[in-house]
């Protein structure tokens, strides 16, 4: 069978063997959680609790502050002890609510709606919004926004993203193996919400057991297909996955999947949607991979949102040697963080730990114009020229070579023989460009 | 525990290629051609190549010291330039020729523009052009036949005429002393053809016989293995293809330029490569592909990173342009061979080609 894929991209060693076989382990509710108000794309949530308040697990503690925003919920029961700036998994410090446990893990009431599949789409959408779900693949776009496409853009296909093209990470893989039924139920709910007639689930060929299991479960579903994909990074990027699965091209310059009749959701998000619609369960936990060759026992955890990374590493038995780099997320697009004080957020798919040697930064050399970056760019841009124009403070030219189309997948930096930090230069350019636009107005 | 970790922007992985890795791999890929050259002409080839390479490295180190920039000769780029320059000289050249050529190539072809990555044209080819302009006789005369005594691959003169030496001494001189492309060029020269014998009919017949000998299977085999006179590095198509396969497999060079270059030469020489009286034959394009510096040029010079287009479309244009110019020079120009000038010319066109072929971003709709 010919596997589907997209143009461009790279093929890094996937390093998934460290944690691929580790069954999801439910981590006990921690003694303290830090719940960030900004775990998603959009405006930060507004706290509705004050220091000293008692909260139950699943209780609303911050509400959505607009359409592109989500509410946050307590993930343990106890007392709100601080609302302050805390380390964020993207490496900065941001406002968060700290809850100290009362040790009881008392939940708000969780109901089971037996006929949840028959609920009207509007009710389903409301439950998704109330559960505080955002994209769990990493970017964290509020799910309810994606489930509300413009009326003039009918959706015919929902694609579940089970690609997990980032090396090292195995959280989506384990979820697909261990909760396959719930993933597919989630897909059906999403299809119903956006009234799409077709569903697909894209999985890369390095997860043959997940492909086989999904094919088995969906064998009787006429309108749901499993799409095995060639191993290629960044296949999990929305536009690339849509192209691989449907051959449709999402327009550039801010185009959304709805323009080509598609909605993409991560498999983890699908399970969260299922739990929200059926049980009204808010998003209080997620699957996260803790891995790296110096992690004593790499694992996949089901952890409460707000659990500190340091506790996850401890639960893996610690490290076998001194760490060189902590990466929140995957190694291609994740954030290097200064310590393990940051908590798990809704978009935290993994914590990858490098040793000193792996963390070694390569020295930058002059550009040879070898065009490897041009060859691998999945968006058909000219990364080295964008970077050169940013360096020369020539932003108009940088835009011409694709500055604003770049999604920072890092394929260019990955292959550059001169070790030029292309993504960093492009990111600098994006910031300078938006500043320049602001001052123009 | 006090954390001492590195915080840097993504991506945190790299495929571990590097400039030295690329350059030394190209040097490695050029080694089979050097071995072939030593096989056919002896250790003089090796000596001249090493002189060229060492001179390039020394020149680069000296200039980098004067410029007060880090000395980076270990990256292999200067060594490669020197090696390629020497590959464009024949094995009978004086020892100082590659030294002077390499020094010029590095100093004027590369360092003047700011060093690695900034040169507008291929330094090795610029060095060759400099030598050709300064010492034309040294560069184009004195070709040596291989140890097996072959100069242009026509090893069996009987194939042409039983008695060539006595009926047309000029034709005999040509087929025994000139390189394949020189023979091909001379056969197109009507004043040469008319001067062979008093009888125009005999002349036409002789020229066609030589042309057939030049494109005969046995000759093409000699061209393929390298049993012909020529420059140090260009002689064996077989050895060059081994190196080219290595570079393609290692993803160091990309297929577009060599493919379109060679394909253009093949098509044009198939159509226009014959001489008066000769029919269209597939062996003519094979002759042109296998002779001169085409293989060396297409796989090792026209694929130079810095001086060739970055866009995929641009690389196709570049390859076709090189092919077109090479054939024009070979068939109607004043030189028997046109590879290096074609590439140099297209090098100069590269910024323009790149500017005109900026790719459309994924998902971009025509307005």
User: Is A382's CB within 8 Å of B359's CB?
Assistant: yes
Q: Name chain B contacts of A414, Cβ cutoff 8 Å.
A: 11, 13-15
User: Is B360's CB within 8 Å of A12's CB?
Assistant: no
In angstroms, the CA A288 to CA A292 distance is 13
Q: Name chain A contacts of B75, Cβ cutoff 8 Å.
A: 365
User: Is A369's CB within 8 Å of B310's CB?
Assistant: yes
In angstroms, the CA A372 to CA A369 distance is 8
Q: How many Cβ pairs closer than 8 A exist between chain A and B?
A: 155
B115: contact with A, CB 8 A cutoff: yes
Q: Name chain B contacts of A10, Cβ cutoff 8 Å.
A: 15
Q: Name chain B contacts of A360, Cβ cutoff 8 Å.
A: 6
B270: contact with A, CB 8 A cutoff: no
Please give the ipTM for the structure prediction: 0.87
B5: contact with A, CB 8 A cutoff: yes
Please state the domain extents for chain B: 19-140, 157-215, 253-356
User: Is B117's CB within 8 Å of A414's CB?
Assistant: no
User: Is B12's CB within 8 Å of A340's CB?
Assistant: no
The pLDDT profile of chain A, 441 residues, written as one tens digit per residue, is 578 888 889 998 989 999 999 999 999 999 999 999 999 888 999 999 999 999 999 999 999 988 889 999 999 999 999 999 999 998 889 999 999 999 998 898 888 888 888 889 888 999 999 999 998 987 788 998 888 888 888 899 999 999 999 999 999 999 999 999 999 999 999 999 998 999 999 999 999 999 999 999 998 888 999 999 999 999 989 899 999 999 999 988 778 888 898 999 999 999 999 999 999 999 999 999 999 999 999 999 999 999 999 999 999 999 999 999 999 999 999 999 999 999 999 999 999 999 998 888 888 999 999 999 999 999 999 999 999 999 999 998 898 888 989 999 999 999 999 999 999 999 999 999 988 888 876
pTM of the full structure: 0.89
B118: contact with A, CB 8 A cutoff: yes
Contact yes or no for B111/B72 (Cβ under 8 A): no
User: Is A368's CB within 8 Å of B9's CB?
Assistant: no
Residue in A91, A379, A416 closest to B362 by CB = A379
CA distance B26 to chain A (A): 14
Domains along chain A with CATH numbers: 18-110+282-355 (3.10.20.600), 116-279 (3.40.50.11540), 372-440 (no CATH)
Residue of chain A with shortest Cα separation from B2: A339
Contact yes or no for A193/A230 (Cβ under 8 A): no
Q: Which of residues 24-83 of B touch A (CB under 8 A)?
A: 75
User: Is A424's CB within 8 Å of B359's CB?
Assistant: no
In angstroms, the CA A242 to CA A237 distance is 9
């Amino acid at each position: 069978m010919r596997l589907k894929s997209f143009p461009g991209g790279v093929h890094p060693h996937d390093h998934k063997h460290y944690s691929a076989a580790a069954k999801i382990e439910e981590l006990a509710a921690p003694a303290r959680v830090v719940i960030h108000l900004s775990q998603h794309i959009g405006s930060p949530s507004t706290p509705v609790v004050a220091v000293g308040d008692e909260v139950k697990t699943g209780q609303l503690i911050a509400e959505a502050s607009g359409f592109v925003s989500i509410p946050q919920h307590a993930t343990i029961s106890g007392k709100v002890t601080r609302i302050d700036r805390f380390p964020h998994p993207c490496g900065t410090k941001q406002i968060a609510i700290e809850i100290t446990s009362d040790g009881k893990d008392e939940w708000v009431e969780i109901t089971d709606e037996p006929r949840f599949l028959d609920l009207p789409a509007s009710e389903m959408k409301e439950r998704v919004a109330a559960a505080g779900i955002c994209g769990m693949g990493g970017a964290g776009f509020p799910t309810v926004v994606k489930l509300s496409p413009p009326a003039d853009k009918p959706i015919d296909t929902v694609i579940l993203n089970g690609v997990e093209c980032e090396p090292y990470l195995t959280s989506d893989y384990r979820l697909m193996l261990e909760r396959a039924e719930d993933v597919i139920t989630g897909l059906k709910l999403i299809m119903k919400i956006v009234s799409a007639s077709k569903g697909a689930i894209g999985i890369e060929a390095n997860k043959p057991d997940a492909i086989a299991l999904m094919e088995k479960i969906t064998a009787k579903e006429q309108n749901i297909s499993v799409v095995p994909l060639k191993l290629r990074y960044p296949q999990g990027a929305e536009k690339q996955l849509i192209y691989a699965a449907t051959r449709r091209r999402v327009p550039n310059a801010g185009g959304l999947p709805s323009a080509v009749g598609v909605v993409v959701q991560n498999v983890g998000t699908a399970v969260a949607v299922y739990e929200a619609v059926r049980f009204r369960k808010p998003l209080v936990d997620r699957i996260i991979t803790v891995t790296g060759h110096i992690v004593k026992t790499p694992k996949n955890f089901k952890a409460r949102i707000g659990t500190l990374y340091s506790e996850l590493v401890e639960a893996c038995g610690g490290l076998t040697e001194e760490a060189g780099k902590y990466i929140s997320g995957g190694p291609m697009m994740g954030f290097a963080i200064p310590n393990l004080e940051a908590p798990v957020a809704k978009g935290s798919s993994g914590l990858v730990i490098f040793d000193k040697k792996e963390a070694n930064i390569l020295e930058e050399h002059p550009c040879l114009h070898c065009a490897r970056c041009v060859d691998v760019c999945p968006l058909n841009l000219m990364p080295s020229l964008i970077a050169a124009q940013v360096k020369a403070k020539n932003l108009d030219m940088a835009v011409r070579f694709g500055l604003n189309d770049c999604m920072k997948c890092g394929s260019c930096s990955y292959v550059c023989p001169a070790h030029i930090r292309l993504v960093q230069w492009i990111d600098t350019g994006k910031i300078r460009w938006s500043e320049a636009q602001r001052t123009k107005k | 525990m006090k954390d001492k970790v590195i915080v840097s922007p993504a991506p945190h992985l790299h495929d571990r290629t590097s400039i030295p890795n690329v350059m030394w791999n190209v040097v490695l890929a050029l080694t089979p051609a050097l071995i072939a050259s030593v096989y056919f002409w002896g250790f003089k080839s090796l000596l001249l190549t090493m002189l060229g390479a060492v001179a390039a490295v020394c020149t680069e180190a000296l200039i980098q010291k004067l410029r007060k920039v880090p000395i980076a000769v270990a990256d292999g780029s200067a060594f490669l330039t020197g090696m390629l320059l020497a590959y464009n000289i024949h094995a009978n050249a004086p020892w100082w020729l590659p030294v002077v050529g390499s020094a010029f190539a590095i100093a004027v072809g590369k360092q003047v523009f700011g060093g690695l990555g900034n040169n507008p044209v291929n330094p090795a080819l610029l060095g060759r052009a400099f030598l050709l302009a300064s010492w034309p006789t040294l560069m184009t005369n004195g070709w040596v036949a291989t140890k097996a005594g072959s100069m242009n691959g026509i090893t069996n003169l009987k194939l042409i005429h039983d008695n060539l030496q006595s009926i047309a001494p000029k034709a005999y001189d040509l087929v025994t002393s000139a390189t394949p492309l020189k023979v091909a060029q001379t056969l197109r020269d009507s004043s040469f053809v008319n001067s062979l014998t008093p009888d125009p009919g005999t002349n036409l017949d002789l020229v066609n016989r030589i042309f057939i000998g030049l494109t005969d299977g046995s000759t093409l085999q000699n061209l393929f293995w390298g049993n012909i006179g020529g420059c140090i590095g260009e002689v064996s198509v077989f050895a060059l293809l081994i190196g080219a396969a290595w570079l393609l497999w290692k993803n160091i060079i990309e297929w577009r330029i060599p493919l379109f270059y060679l394909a253009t030469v093949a098509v044009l020489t198939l159509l226009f490569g014959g001489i008066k009286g000769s029919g269209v034959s597939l062996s003519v394009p094979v002759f042109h592909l296998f002779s001169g510096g085409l293989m060396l040029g297409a796989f090792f010079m026209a694929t130079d990173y810095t001086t060739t287009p970055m866009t995929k479309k641009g690389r196709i244009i570049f390859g076709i342009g090189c092919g077109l110019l090479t054939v024009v020079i070979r068939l109607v120009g004043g030189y028997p061979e046109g590879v290096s000038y074609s590439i140099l010319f297209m090098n100069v066109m590269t910024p323009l080609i790149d500017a005109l072929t900026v790719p459309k971003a994924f998902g971009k709709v025509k307005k």
